[in-house]
Amino acid sequence: MTSAALWGGRFRAAPDPALTAFSRSDPSHLRLFPQDIAGSRSHARELNRAGILTADELTSMLRALDAIESDIADGIKVPAPSDEDIHTFIERLLIERLGDLGGKLRAGRSRNDQAANNLKLYLRDEARHIVAGLIGLCEALVAQAERHVETQAPGFTHLQAAQPIVFGHQLLAHAQALLRDMDRFLDWDKRSARSPLGAAALAGSAIALDPQASAAELGYDGVCENSIDAVGSRDHVAEFLFVTAMIGVDLSRLCEEIILWCSQGAGWARLDDRFATGSSIMPQKKNPDIAELTRGRSARLIGNLNAMMIALKGLPFAYNRDLIEDKRAAFETVDSLHLVLPAMTGLIATLSFDTARMAQAATSGFTLATEMADWLARRGIPFSHAHEITGRAVRYCEDKAIGLDALTDDDLAAIDPALDGDVRQHLSVEAALAARSGFGGTAPAAVRRQIARYAAALAGPRAFATGGSRQP
């Protein structure tokens, strides 16, 4: 009977319990059993092509792998303390079912190319799930934007009121950032669609000589060109973690704004009771915990990227055990986003807004000053001079505690001879918004066109999210 242990023949002593405890894979790695079994099926077919397995043996092997996958999925079979990792676990189950035939599957492959393949398949699938979650969140943002194409609000720079905008434009700014994150995943997947199977430990396999067939079976576009690179590199993991860290950053910025909108000082937004929490001591509180938790969770997404990069930076080629850190970082990141994205989608979809209060704030802080400067520039005055005149007008209004739109003809003449009453027709939020009707601008008509283009831009991510990777 073949031993289920994957190594040990050259050792004279059993592993010390401290080594065993330290070396054993984390229980979270069990989630990779579908990928490990998918790779095993492809490898069994490769062994059949190589003449290691007969047609009947291949049939028996595939049936056993199917049954093992079902038993693990149903919780009937779980790893034993003696199982060092998922590969040991599955091979043990295979040998229990098939005897020595089960031990044949190890020929021509290594845990090194298995481990690389398992995580790559997993991340390619999870990238699609994450993109699907992002699409739902972006649809919620766009739905809110459609409701607020005409809603006036102040736009900010340096967190200071700057110029009037329509609030839908602000919401779409966040949707555009998340769209780029989805596009990054599509781009990442193109570089990650290369199979490491056939690389074996590092030098390639003397038995599995047709890795292209296995790659096609598993949904890859091709095979890694270099066997050392195939097992020793994890830049596809690091890049995945960069994309997810960028998602965390983009979500955190959105959350910061939601927290500000819901504050009593702003009073722009109201949280739905289903997506808010209260205080154990202050009965009146209604807290934006989803936004705060997401903002906090982004730190962990960034930290996982940092941990992976540090683990990689000093490694010689090819495989090193340090690379086991790839799964911890990837799993925590994936699990975090599966919690964050549905909660954020619900939060965004159910927010309600005080549009009257937002419109009132649209002119606070002299947000129409740029309209005066632009009006002067259109009259041929150099903008540097127009800027200076408008600055004096703001100072004049501050002294008199009035707004720019309240300046009389006498006031305007006193500020500068270049100003006259015609400027007042440009000193309104409606005029300021309408003037910015160019591509990407905040005019309602421009924002409606942006929404239409955004819907079309989601076609690529939708196709990616529903495509999946094939695992026979």
d(CA 311, CA 217): 31
Which of 279, 338, 352, 364 is labelled catalytic? 279
Residue 112: CB partners within 8 Å, gap ≥ 6? 199, 200, 201, 202, 231, 318, 319
Residue 332 carries which side chain, given as an amino acid letter? E
**Which candidate, 121, 50, 64, 124, places its Cα nearest to that of 93?**
64
**Residue 158 among the catalytic residues:** yes
d(CA 117, CA 357): 55
Dihedral angle sign, alpha carbons of residues 456, 457, 458, 460:
positive
d(CA 218, CA 227): 18
**Residue 279 among the catalytic residues:** yes
- Specify whether the CB–CB gap between 61 and 43 falls below 8 A: no
- Specify whether the CB–CB gap between 231 and 116 falls below 8 A: yes
3-state SS string for 396-427: HHHHHCCCHHHCCHHHHHHHCCCCCHHHHHHC
Q: Which residue, chain included where needed, has tokens 């992976």?
A: 308
Instruction: Please report which helix (H) or strand (E) contains residue 187, including its range.
Output: helix 167-192
Q: Which residue, chain included where needed, has tokens 């990792």?
A: 85
- ω before 459 within 30° of 0 (cis)? no
Q: Which residue, chain included where needed, has tokens 């009947």?
A: 56
Residue 197: CB partners within 8 Å, gap ≥ 6? 39, 42, 43, 46, 109, 113, 114, 117, 208, 211, 214, 215, 218, 223
| Number of C-beta neighbours around residue 56 at 10 A | 9
Token pair belonging to 240: 């995945």
Catalytic residues: 158, 279
